[in-house]
């Protein structure tokens, strides 16, 4: 943590290298000048940033390696670029990265598709720490409180533990660093759907050896669908006490309270019954989404999907000698999350089951309540060792980690409460209604104890060749209990201990000072693949295994005016669990994925900047001894092609005015495991203009300027779950319509 100041300076210089005529390699200027640049960039940053090749990524390694030195694919989106592009939520910041698809279903607000893997196969960290399965614990964090977001592609169990396969997303909050300059910032934003965005931040020194940060943000919007208002309040703060030149303490606080909204999808209906079908999907059953329902919310009036969470951590850093550094992180995370929704809707095509008439929207089985009570306590200690022997420079990290997670999940859905006429509604004139009587299904306490030791090493074998390796041994104890509504234990709980070894080997070779080739071979293991909180004794599977090999090139060229990264990867996993029922998961065999990812950023002249990325992904389910049904199918929410383009021109008409646009393309994807539903490709166009002064910035944005209709994500269990014996859900979420907003930022 003590190196944050230096690395922030590197970020600033790298950005200036794109915005001005300086090159990316100019990152060795003195720290005083860098701090001034950081202050300036917080206001005038361009939406087309650099690829941050010379920035350190703690997500990819704890060795202090830059992206250029690390044999892995890494992307960094810093706060300046997030602000300049107008990103408000975590998912906004990832949606335009190559090969990434984001999902924001209220039951799993921050889910991602990456390198052919989705949901629980993507690990989401908060400040480098695992606080639980991302599909259960993550929320749409406010970007105003973030310093940066780091994305590491492919298996990363050796660094971050648990079963990372497709990638790792690390949301890093702003925090105090040594010598930081005093600064205050305010942000005001207003836009379509009565959206409001407020932010205040303050940082600086309290004493010669004491620094602080404070960031508070608030966002709320009525949403593009009726009665789907979402709101979020986030407060983050930190204090750094530099006790001596060699010893420091840092305390951090992160408080979030939110409601992610109550829009859970728009029902599918036969094309013949639709007044005006939207061209957003194709299904083998001849279904469509009717444009007449584009803004209709079939949820009940008193629906919610809210959370209240607090994250506290205490970091100690002790420089024992020039070559030894000891660090310790102690943290405590608590959260309460609550859902109450009529969340499943089916257009009745026959009078059967709970459907009382043709053409109604039936909600009976879709009533669902869910409560989370989570408490996570953890501690991580690391020792960095830098030395040299026989002329070979060696950097090592050894450490240990302990995590205790207590998670109580209470849920309920319609089984005994009698069906009433209000459960079925007219699709074109629905009565909103209320949730009504709550019915508890049961309570499932789950305890997870994790113990791990890890080792990383980087050897500079020659001035051009760097060899990087890592090992992590992990043990996990799982205790799962299930109680019915009366508190009587059910017979499907179990206890199990797991242990596994994760590893990674790789190397980088510098073809030139600004160009490096890299390759790596890595694995990932975990007890289960989907949601660890849903597993019962009939899903008591052994460890699954994933292997990846990856090669690529990273280069800064045109005298630093351009940066490019290219990566090819191949991943194979032996077991995959998918959710097939409301409360459980099933082993569906293995999965393979390979593809190519490309990113580039250019400074074409003093005022014109351009950024581009593209990805090709080829992912397939593989047969196993017990499951062959899905073999050869493409996993849901995995497009073969994605691409994004940004461009901006500054000093338009010799004014401090910047104009720009972005275009984002997502190819066809399947919405279900059997591949019977296709989510059609879409292209989003965004426009912006920014007027910049010395200490202020006024930005106007139009998102989805062409007002394209699209389906961004499919939550598999809410699609084609309409068998007459269990008419639960058959719906998809529609993407946001055209919207505009104005944001004013002021620094003092």
Which tokens sit at 448? Answer: 């997870």
Going by pLDDT thresholds of 50, 70 and 90, the confidence category of residue 80 is: confident
**Whether the predicted pLDDT of 30 surpasses 90:** no
Going by pLDDT thresholds of 50, 70 and 90, the confidence category of residue 10 is: very low
Going by pLDDT thresholds of 50, 70 and 90, the confidence category of residue 627 is: low
Going by pLDDT thresholds of 50, 70 and 90, the confidence category of residue 103 is: confident
Of residues 397 and 43, more confidently modeled: 397
pLDDT in tens, 316-360: 999 999 999 999 999 999 999 999 999 999 999 999 999 999 999
CA angle 334, 337, 339 (to 5 degrees): 175
Query: Long-range contacts for 414-421 (Cβ within 8 Å, ≥24 apart)?
Result: 414/364, 414/365, 414/366, 414/367, 414/439, 415/439, 415/441, 417/367, 419/354, 419/364, 421/356
| pLDDT at site 553 | 97
Of residues 119 and 63, more confidently modeled: 63
Of residues 362 and 55, more confidently modeled: 362
**Whether the predicted pLDDT of 626 surpasses 60:** no
Between helices 4-19 and 31-44, what is the axis angle to 10°? 60
> Tokens 């893997």 — which residue?
117
DSSP helix/strand/coil, 717? helix
**Whether the predicted pLDDT of 576 surpasses 70:** no
Contact 341, 305 (CB under 8 A): yes
Spatial distance between the Cα atoms of 359 and 274, rounded to a whole number of angstroms: 11
**Whether the predicted pLDDT of 300 surpasses 50:** yes
Q: Which domains does the chain have, with CATH numbers?
A: 4-173 (2.170.130.10), 183-747 (2.40.170.20)
Neighbouring C-beta atoms of residue 215, cutoff 10 Å: 25
| pLDDT at site 465 | 96
Nearest to 114 by CA among 161, 165, 52, 61: 165
Spatial distance between the Cα atoms of 469 and 158, rounded to a whole number of angstroms: 9
Going by pLDDT thresholds of 50, 70 and 90, the confidence category of residue 312 is: very high
pLDDT in tens, 416-442: 899 999 999 999 999 999 999 999 999
Going by pLDDT thresholds of 50, 70 and 90, the confidence category of residue 51 is: confident
pLDDT in tens, 727-743: 999 999 999 999 999 99
pLDDT in tens, 171-182: 999 999 999 999
**Whether the predicted pLDDT of 25 surpasses 50:** no
pLDDT in tens, 220-267: 999 999 998 899 999 999 999 999 999 999 999 999 999 999 999 999
Spatial distance between the Cα atoms of 251 and 242, rounded to a whole number of angstroms: 12
**Whether the predicted pLDDT of 469 surpasses 60:** yes
Which tokens sit at 553? Answer: 């090139």
Longest Cα pair distance anywhere in the chain, in angstroms?
82
Q: Which residues contact 314 (CB under 8 A, 6 or more apart)?
A: 249, 250, 251, 252, 329, 330, 331
In SS3 terms, 621-640 reads as EECCCCCCCCCCCCCCCCCC
* DSSP 8-state secondary structure symbol assigned to residue 34: H
**What H or E segment, with its residue span, contains residue 42?**
helix 31-44
Contact 680, 282 (CB under 8 A): yes
Q: How many CA within 13 A on the CB side of residue 531?
A: 22
pTM for this model (two decimals): 0.89
| pLDDT at site 27 | 34
CA angle 698, 257, 376 (to 5 degrees): 125
Of residues 494 and 373, more confidently modeled: 373
Q: Work out the percent of the chain whose per-residue pLDDT is above 70.
A: 88
Q: Which residues contact 576 (CB under 8 A, 6 or more apart)?
A: 121, 529, 544, 587, 588, 589, 590, 591, 621
> Tokens 């869910």 — which residue?
370
Determine the average pLDDT of the residues in 52-81: 89
Question: DSSP string covering 502-553, please?
Answer: EEEEEEEEEEETTEEEEEEEEEEEES-SS-TTS--GGG----EEEEEEEEEE
Spatial distance between the Cα atoms of 151 and 171, rounded to a whole number of angstroms: 9
Determine the average pLDDT of the residues in 101-112: 85
**Whether the predicted pLDDT of 116 surpasses 80:** yes
Contact 61, 468 (CB under 8 A): yes
| pLDDT at site 40 | 35
Which tokens sit at 23? Answer: 């090159």
Spatial distance between the Cα atoms of 696 and 742, rounded to a whole number of angstroms: 13
**Whether the predicted pLDDT of 38 surpasses 80:** no
Question: DSSP string covering 293-359, please?
Answer: GTT---S-TT-EEEEEEEEEEEEEEEE-SSSEEEEEEEEEEEEEEEEEEE---EE-SSS-TT--STT
**Whether the predicted pLDDT of 611 surpasses 90:** yes
**Whether the predicted pLDDT of 7 surpasses 80:** no
**Whether the predicted pLDDT of 537 surpasses 80:** no
The full length of the chain comes to 748
584-587 and 590-603 as β-strands: parallel, antiparallel, unpaired? unpaired
**Whether the predicted pLDDT of 3 surpasses 80:** no
Of residues 529 and 717, more confidently modeled: 717
Nearest to 281 by CA among 293, 268, 297: 268
Going by pLDDT thresholds of 50, 70 and 90, the confidence category of residue 577 is: low
pLDDT in tens, 385-428: 999 888 899 999 999 999 999 999 999 999 889 999 999 999 99
Going by pLDDT thresholds of 50, 70 and 90, the confidence category of residue 46 is: low
Strands of 424-425's sheet in order across: 346-347, 361-362, 424-425
Mean pLDDT of the chain: 87
Q: Work out the percent of the chain whose per-residue pLDDT is above 90.
A: 67
pLDDT in tens, 193-207: 999 999 999 999 998
Which of 53-67, 211-225, 266-280, 608-622 is least confident?
53-67
Which of 89-98, 175-184, 367-376, 602-611 is least confident?
89-98
| pLDDT at site 213 | 97
**Whether the predicted pLDDT of 57 surpasses 90:** no
Going by pLDDT thresholds of 50, 70 and 90, the confidence category of residue 9 is: very low
| pLDDT at site 104 | 82
């Amino acid at each position: 943590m003590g190196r944050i100041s230096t690395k922030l300076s590197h970020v600033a210089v790298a950005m200036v290298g794109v915005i001005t005529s300086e090159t990316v390699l100019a990152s060795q200027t003195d720290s005083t000048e860098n701090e001034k640049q950081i202050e300036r960039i917080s206001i005038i940053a361009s939406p087309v940033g650099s690829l941050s090749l010379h920035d350190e990524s703690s997500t990819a390694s704890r060795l202090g390696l830059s992206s250029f030195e690390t044999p892995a694919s890494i992307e960094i989106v810093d706060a300046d670029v997030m602000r300049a592009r107008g990103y408000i939520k975590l998912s906004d910041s990832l949606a335009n990265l190559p090969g990434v698809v984001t999902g924001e279903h209220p039951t799993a607000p921050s889910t991602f598709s990456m390198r052919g893997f989705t949901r629980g196969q993507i690990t989401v960290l908060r400040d480098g720490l695992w606080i639980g399965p991302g599909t259960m614990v993550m929320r749409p964090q406010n970007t105003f409180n973030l310093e940066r977001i780091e994305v590491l592609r492919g298996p990363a169990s050796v660094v971050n533990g648990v079963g990372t396969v497709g990638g790792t997303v690390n949301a890093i909050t702003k925090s105090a660093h040594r010598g930081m300059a005093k600064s205050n910032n305010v942000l005001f934003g207003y836009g379509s759907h009565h959206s409001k965005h407020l932010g205040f931040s303050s940082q600086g020194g309290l004493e010669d050896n004491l620094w602080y940060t404070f960031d508070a943000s608030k966002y709320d919007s009525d949403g593009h669908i009726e009665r789907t208002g979402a709101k979020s309040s986030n407060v983050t703060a930190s204090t750094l006490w530099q006790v001596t030149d060699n010893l420091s303490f840092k305390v951090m606080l992160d408080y979030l309270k939110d409601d992610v909204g109550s829009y859970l999808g728009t029902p599918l209906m036969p094309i013949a019954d639709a007044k005006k079908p939207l061209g957003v999907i194709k299904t083998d059953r001849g279904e469509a989404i009717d444009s007449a329902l584009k803004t209709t919310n079939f949820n009940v009036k008193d629906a919610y999907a809210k959370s209240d969470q607090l994250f506290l951590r205490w970091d100690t850093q002790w420089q024992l000698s020039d070559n030894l550094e000891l660090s310790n992180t102690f943290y405590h995370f608590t959260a309460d999350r609550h859902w109450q929704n009529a969340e499943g809707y089916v257009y009745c095509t026959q009078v059967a089951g709970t459907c009382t008439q043709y053409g109604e929207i039936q909600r009976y089985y879709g009533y669902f309540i869910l409560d989370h009570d989570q408490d996570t306590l953890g501690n991580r200690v690391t020792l960095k060792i830098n030395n040299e022997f026989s002329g070979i420079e060696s950097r090592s990290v050894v450490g240990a980690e302990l995590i205790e997670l207590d998670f109580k999940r209470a849920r309920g859905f319609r089984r005994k409460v009698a069906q009433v006429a209000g459960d079925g509604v007219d699709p074109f004139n629905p009565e909103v209604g209320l949730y009504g009587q709550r019915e508890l299904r049961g309570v499932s306490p789950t305890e997870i104890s994790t113990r791990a030791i890890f080792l990383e090493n980087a050897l500079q074998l020659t001035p051009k060749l760097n060899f990087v390796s890592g090992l992590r041994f992990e043990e996990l104890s799982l205790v799962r209990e299930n109680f019915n509504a009366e508190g009587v234990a059910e017979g499907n709980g179990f206890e199990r201990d797991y242990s596994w070894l994760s590893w990674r080997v790789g190397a980088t070779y510098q073809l030139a000072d600004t160009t490096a080739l890299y390759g790596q071979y890595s694995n990932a293991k975990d007890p289960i693949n989907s949601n660890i909180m849903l597993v019962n004794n009939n899903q008591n599977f052994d460890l699954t295994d994933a292997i990846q090999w990856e090669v690529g090139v990273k280069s800064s060229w045109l005298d630093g005016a351009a940066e490019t990264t290219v990566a090819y990867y191949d991943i194979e996993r032996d077991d995959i669990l998918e959710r097939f029922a409301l409360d459980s998961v099933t082993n569906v065999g293995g999965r393979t994925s390979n593809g190519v990812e490309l990113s580039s950023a250019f400074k074409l002249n003093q005022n014109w900047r351009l950024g581009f990325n593209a990805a090709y992904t080829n992912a397939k389910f593989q047969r196993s001894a017990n499951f062959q049904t899905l073999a050869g199918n493409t996993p849901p929410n995995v497009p073969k092609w994605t691409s994004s383009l940004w461009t901006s021109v500054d000093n338009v008409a010799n004014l401090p005015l910047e104009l720009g646009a972005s275009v984002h393309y997502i190819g066809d994807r399947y919405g279900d495991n059997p591949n019977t539903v296709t989510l059609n490709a879409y292209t989003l166009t965004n426009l912006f203009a920014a007027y910049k002064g010395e200490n202020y910035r006024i930005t106007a944005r139009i998102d989805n300027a062409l007002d394209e209709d699209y389906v961004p994500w499919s939550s598999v269990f809410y699609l084609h779950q309409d068998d007459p014996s269990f008419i639960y859900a058959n719906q998809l979420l529609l993407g946001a319509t055209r919207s505009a907003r104005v944001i004013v930022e002021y620094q003092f």
